[in-house]
Structure 1
């Protein structure tokens, strides 16, 4: 099950500029650059955090990625097919669980914990990333064999989505014989096991994470970096941001200067990474 920090964070305001469509059997938010030509070489697919494809936070991220890279960005719904994403209301519940103190906290925390578990446990069962991965892989296969047959494909995974993009980076092939993706990027990953899931990475892989992120402890981050560095023919990077909490790239406080700088650093890393691998 994801840690409590997977269900915390700030809700961002719009507007967002993309559109919704149905693509390869999934609802998809599609973002395209507004002020620059559309890339003819690359396409990006984003795998969401626990809150799913339809948050303003994630759609805003997709819009910015499209604008800064020039690539079309797909944000598919990999949860609603037979389940639901985590509702935004759980953020305030988790915040109270972690912040209530004193006698009142002693009284209300059991109820708050039960309320949180009522959401978190069913979500974790319905949307176990291993259970959802076949749908992710099929979408990427269909994509690679159609509109992305002659494009380079980058994938992004936040939190929950890290499992999917990490397994896609293992180098599996689509029906047309091409690798499903060309490069992967993850910010504050959860649901990945080290060393098991990292040892099989064969395609360019970039990670950014905070040093106080409980979803992937620092010892596992260091082990990840060691494993990737041993792969001499693999382009990879692991960037650790001091004091960055889980979710900082998507759910940080945009009005907090330090948190905004952390999110900007992650975005800059992605833009540079895909500028290198999707051209």
Structure 2
């Protein structure tokens, strides 16, 4: 395949459309138009590569179910701590687990939390089951296809309503707190927590990489209690990398501080150009170290472990992993 387009590389200095506009040194961008919430690759796994299996373990960390994958020589050899945030297929996806294992083999203690509390995104099979109940063999095939599409859209909308930022962020804070305690040596060795995210999880890399108002700020509270609150909190990660994000608005770039590497799909309706460009402009205007690479000819979700027949997609998948790994290693 042709090399991914290097959209931006700036030196240091993935449920609803959010209409917040990030503050910049110039005029703030206008809110973007609504985009599709999630796609097939966000909710369904590709076939697992032949002969591959996960090697980590599922356990609990600060009362949150997590998949932990460690380097084979840890803790005898110092390692860094990496938080991996998945797409909608979630914690029990073997492909996601293998993705975590690949980072572990590069010297990271990987913590992959269940962002959805045992409720992964519904896939096409679930939608087909609902559609089948609502139809019979006498209906036209085209009607059945439409019924599946409608059922899937309904299921996704209901699922997204159950897994909002207000539900996911407390999970991440608990996992970060538990990780800093359980793997204090790895956090110390890396000088902080690193993070990578895909699809649904990619948006939360942006949120964790940002400096945001502290609790109670901007709510009109007065007195000593308010004076003692921190004005800002974060960022929660030292550096991050994200691939084919979904559900991202222009406002999600507000307050970014941590260095970011961004993997994008060309002409991706789930992460439209207007959102990507607004994010690049914000990061450049505010001195956020970043790189953005756009991969042509690949589907949304291509960077997640999974088998493809197309050699170009396979090559792009390997290149995207190298891009993300190189970024966190250099920071």
Matching residue within 201, 204, 220 for 2:256: 201
Matching residue within 254, 258, 270 for 1:215: 270
For 1:263-278, list aligned pairs within 5 A: 263-277=317-331
For 1:1-40, list aligned pairs within 5 A: 1=15, 2-5=37-40, 6-8=42-44, 10-13=46-49, 14-34=52-72, 40=78
- Aligned residue for 1:139, secondary structure, equals helix
Matching residue within 134, 137, 144 for 2:173: 137
1:165 partnered with 2:205: yes
Matching residue within 230, 242, 245 for 1:186: 242
1:124 partnered with 2:160: yes
- How far does residue 132 in structure 1 lie from its aligned partner after superposition? 1.4
- Aligned residue for 1:250, secondary structure, equals coil
| Alpha-carbon distance in 2 for matches of 1:92, 1:272 | 39
For 1:90-105, list aligned pairs within 5 A: 90=125, 105=141
1:113 equivalent in structure 2: 149
- The structure-2 alpha-carbon separation of the partners of 1:167 and 1:178, relative to structure 1 and needing over 3 Å to count, comes to closer
2:101 equivalent in structure 1: 63
Contact 1:171 1:202 in 2 (8 A): yes
1:224 partnered with 2:279: yes
Contact 2:44 2:124 in 1 (8 A): no
Q: Which runs of 5+ in 1 are unaligned?
A: 94-102
Contact 2:127 2:151 in 1 (8 A): no
Contact 2:54 2:97 in 1 (8 A): yes
- How far does residue 89 in structure 1 lie from its aligned partner after superposition? 4.8
Structure with the larger helix share: 1
Contact 2:84 2:111 in 1 (8 A): yes
1:96 equivalent in structure 2: none
CA RMSD of aligned residues (A): 2.9
**Rg larger for:** 2
Q: How many residues align?
A: 263
| Alpha-carbon distance in 2 for matches of 1:263, 1:88 | 22
Matching residue within 236, 248, 272 for 2:290: 236
| Alpha-carbon distance in 2 for matches of 1:47, 1:74 | 9
| Alpha-carbon distance in 2 for matches of 1:130, 1:11 | 32
- Aligned residue for 1:184, secondary structure, equals strand
- Aligned residue for 1:248, secondary structure, equals coil
